[in-house]
Amino acid sequence: MLATMFRLYPASASAALLLFAPLSPAAAAQQSAPVEQPAVGYAEIADLVLAAPLVIDATITSATRIKGAEAAGVAVNAARFYVEAQVGALIRGSGAMPARIGYLVDVPLDFRGRAPNLKKTRVLIFARPVAGRPDQVQLVQLDAQRSWSPALDARARGVVREILDRNAPPAITGIGNAFHVVGTLPGEGETQIFLKTETGDPVSLLVLRRPNQPPRWAVSFGDIVNEGAGPPQRDTLGWYRLACGLPRSLPASALETQDEQGARIAAEDYQFVLRSLGPCHAGPAAGA
């Protein structure tokens, strides 16, 4: 959300003097402490980067509010603008970009229902090119513009690097089959779950049960099932592919070869994996 900037002016000379009164040591320490930046959600940025052939760091030079028929579909608490912006850096994209681009964007209104002043705002936009119009781009969503910050810039660049890696984990499209094998000791066993992917590359999950130990699991992005690989680190592309791509339960078709007990344990192990991964989107968007 675009930040609204306020300038405070003293109402009187005495109030003005208060602005320059010396601070107590405690207040000075509090004022000098660095302001913690809000976390930039990995899944939100990964959603945008994956949809966007172009990720651009730009500064808005002009913004014209669009009304009437051209603003059809805009939310009641938002406004649509035609924006012109100076390109600062191309974070994702091939080929040269013109120095100045234009695009449509929907931005939220403030608490008073007023549109923000976008001019001179530095932004990251997630967009696609417009055929035959090199100076125009189309946002992948009409709100796919974010106010620039060091944290956002670092997150977006990190996601782009992961996606462009030739060994990047593929998108999950479904469950192939799953089975549970009982071990020789009571409480011992393992579940293997083979996933379907967009590229056809193999991805599998392995859940190990040992007597008197909590279950543990691993993911293998490749042909070799490696129990030592462990779960993917949170806020990485591997985590995102699973947390955001796995269905909420094992389909019956994946368990056709299992007896009732094996199917039950495999389903329980799958839920264990989902709980370990956590929701794809944190907060109100969880589960989206």
Nearest to 284 by CA among 78, 46, 41: 41
Q: What confidence tens digit (pLDDT) does each residue in 20-65 have?
A: 334 444 444 444 333 344 568 999 999 999 999 999 999 999 999 9
* Band (226; pLDDT cuts 50, 70, 90): confident
pLDDT of residue 235: 96
93: left (phi over 0), alpha (psi -120 to 50) or beta: left
**Structural contact between residues 238 and 221, judged by C-beta atoms closer than 8 angstroms:** yes
Tell me: pLDDT of 87 over 90. Answer: yes
Global pTM value:
0.82
Q: Give pLDDT tens digits for 93-116.
A: 988 899 999 999 999 999 999 999
Averaged over 247-251, what is the pLDDT?
A: 95
Grouping H, G, I as helix, E, B as strand and the rest as coil, residue 171 is coil
> In DSSP terms, which residues pair with 288 in a beta bridge?
none
Out of 11-15, 84-88, 148-152, 172-176, pick the least confident: 11-15
Per-residue pLDDT band for 234 (boundaries 50, 70, 90) equals very high
**What pLDDT does residue 37 have?**
45
pLDDT at 200: 96
DSSP 281: S
Domain 42-164: assigned CATH number: 2.40.50.120
Residue 222 confidence class, pLDDT cut points 50, 70, 90: confident
Beta-carbon count within 10 A of 81 CB: 22
Q: Exposure string (b/e) for 226-256, b if CB count within 10 Å is 16 or more? A: eeebebbeebebbbbbbbbbbeeebeeebbe
Average pLDDT, integer, range 57-74 = 94
Contact 90, 98 (CB under 8 A): no
Locate 118 and state its tokens. 């976008």
pLDDT of residue 281: 87
pLDDT digits (tens, 9 = 90+) for 152-195: 999 999 999 999 999 999 999 999 999 999 998 988 999 999 99
Distances (CA, A) of 142 to 27, 33, 44, 105, 137: 42, 36, 15, 5, 11
On average, the pLDDT of the chain sits at 86
147 has a pLDDT exceeding 80 = yes
What pLDDT was estimated at residue 95? 84
Nearest Cα to Cα of residue 159 among 280, 43, 57? 43
Q: CA separation (Å) from 73 to 30, 66, 67, 77, 80?
A: 45, 12, 11, 12, 10
pLDDT of residue 28: 43
Cβ pair 172, 195 in contact under 8 A: yes
Looking only at the bridges linking them, the beta strands covering 78-92 and 54-66 are: antiparallel
Helix, strand or coil, per DSSP, at residue 253: helix
* pLDDT in the model for residue 117: 94
CA atoms within 13 A on the CB side of 239: 19
- Coil, strand or helix at 94: coil
- Report how far residue 192's alpha carbon sits from residue 142's, in angstroms, rounded to the nearest whole number: 41
Check pLDDT > 70 for residue 85: yes
For residue 130, what are the β-bridge partners? 133
> Residue ranges of the domains in the chain?
42-164, 172-285
